[in-house]
Amino acid sequence: MTQLETAMAILMKTFDTYAAGEGSKDSLNKAEVKTLLEKELPGLLKAAKNQDEVDKLLKGLDFNGDSEVDFNEFVVLVAALTCACHNRCPKK
């Protein structure tokens, strides 16, 4: 596989691993999202000044308002964080 194909496979596997924890295997509940962030993006949580900021992030991920984060919503998070880290996204 190419590097990009490998990255995509890792992204899918990571989501599936945490979504399989409890409830629906097609989405992440709040506890699963928190666990994923703690284990996969620990620097993000450390950078948060307080728990309210983390809660706002989690709520902001839920674009369709179903109180869960599906794969599409997860990909948007990863893409946004990738852009922020790469510093190539235009400022809005």
Phi first, then psi: give them for residue 42, nearest 5 degrees: -60, -30
What integer pLDDT is reported at residue 54 of this predicted model? 66
Domain 28-92 has CATH 1.10.238.10: yes
Q: What is the pTM of this model?
A: 0.77
Residue 21 has pLDDT above 80, yes or no: yes
- Domain residue spans of the chain: 28-92
pLDDT in tens, 30-70: 889 889 988 998 877 676 666 676 677 777 777 788 888 99
Q: How far is CA 6 from the centre of its chain?
A: 18
Q: Looking at this protein, which amino acid is placed at residue 28?
A: L
What integer pLDDT is reported at residue 8 of this predicted model? 96
53: left (phi over 0), alpha (psi -120 to 50) or beta: alpha
Q: Looking at this protein, which amino acid is placed at residue 27?
A: S
78 pLDDT band (50/70/90 cuts)? Answer: confident
CA of 49: how far to CAs of 5, 46, 54, in Å? 35, 8, 9
Comparing 26 with 30, the larger pLDDT belongs to 26
